């Protein structure tokens, strides 16, 4: 089984329930085993053209039997199951699932780029990912997730406190 890392985000609806339920759905897919999840983080939207609610973000590590492309298809189907409409960049969403890392694979196709092309710039990805995979070496740069995290501003990423 291959080890992979995904990022999860939501800023529409009951984000906490959506994120947690999406992990349960993924875990039920044959060939996908949920290994661990990060804490949830409340984050400010980055680069959005109009105001929108804060996000809840986190990361998970999976062991999978699927190829990267097959896993991407499952992630996209899960987004749709939870009400995602379209895949427009910087728009509010009920669920966003991104394939960040798949073993030490470097892949660049029209449909899928691994490692995720903007992962190293995004504190809302690196903070939760470093919590669960700080020593994972991002294969394009050769740097660990922990060292990539040192190069981003994390001020907009706060632990999510449930009431």
Does the active-site annotation cover 104?
Answer: no
Does the active-site annotation cover 17?
Answer: no
Question: Could you say which of 14, 17, 54, 98 is catalytic?
Answer: 98
Question: Could you say which of 93, 104, 111, 153 is catalytic?
Answer: 93
Question: Could you say which of 96, 118, 122, 140 is catalytic?
Answer: 96
Does the active-site annotation cover 118?
Answer: no
Label each residue of the chain as H, E or C. Answer: CEEEEEEEEECCCCHHHHHHHHHHHHHHCCCEEEEEECCCEEECCCCCCCCCCCEEEEEEEEEECCCHHHHHHHHHHHHHHCCCCCCCCCCCCCCEEEEEEECCCCEECCCCEECCCCHHHCHHHHHHHHHHHCCCEECCCCEEHHHHHCCCCCCCEEECCCC
Question: Could you say which of 14, 21, 54, 84 is catalytic?
Answer: 84
Does the active-site annotation cover 93?
Answer: yes
Catalytic residues: 84, 93, 96, 98
């Amino acid at each position: 089984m291959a080890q992979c890392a995904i990022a999860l985000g939501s800023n529409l609806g009951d984000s906490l329930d959506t994120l947690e339920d999406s992990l349960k759905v993924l875990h039920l897919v044959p060939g996908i085993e949920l290994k661990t999840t990060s804490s949830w983080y409340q984050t400010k939207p980055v680069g959005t053209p109009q105001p929108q609610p804060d996000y809840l973000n986190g990361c998970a590590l999976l062991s999978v039997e699927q190829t990267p492309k097959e896993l991407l298809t499952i992630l996209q189907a899960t987004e749709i199951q939870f009400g995602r409409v379209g895949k427009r960049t910087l728009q509010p969403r009920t669920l966003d699932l991104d394939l960040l890392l798949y073993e030490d694979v470097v892949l660049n196709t029209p449909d899928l780029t691994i490692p995720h092309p903007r992962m190293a710039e995004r504190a809302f990805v690196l903070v939760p990912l470093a919590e669960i995979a700080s020593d994972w070496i991002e294969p394009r740069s050769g740097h660990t997730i922990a060292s990539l995290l040192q190069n981003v501003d994390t001020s907009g990423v706060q632990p999510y406190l449930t009431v």
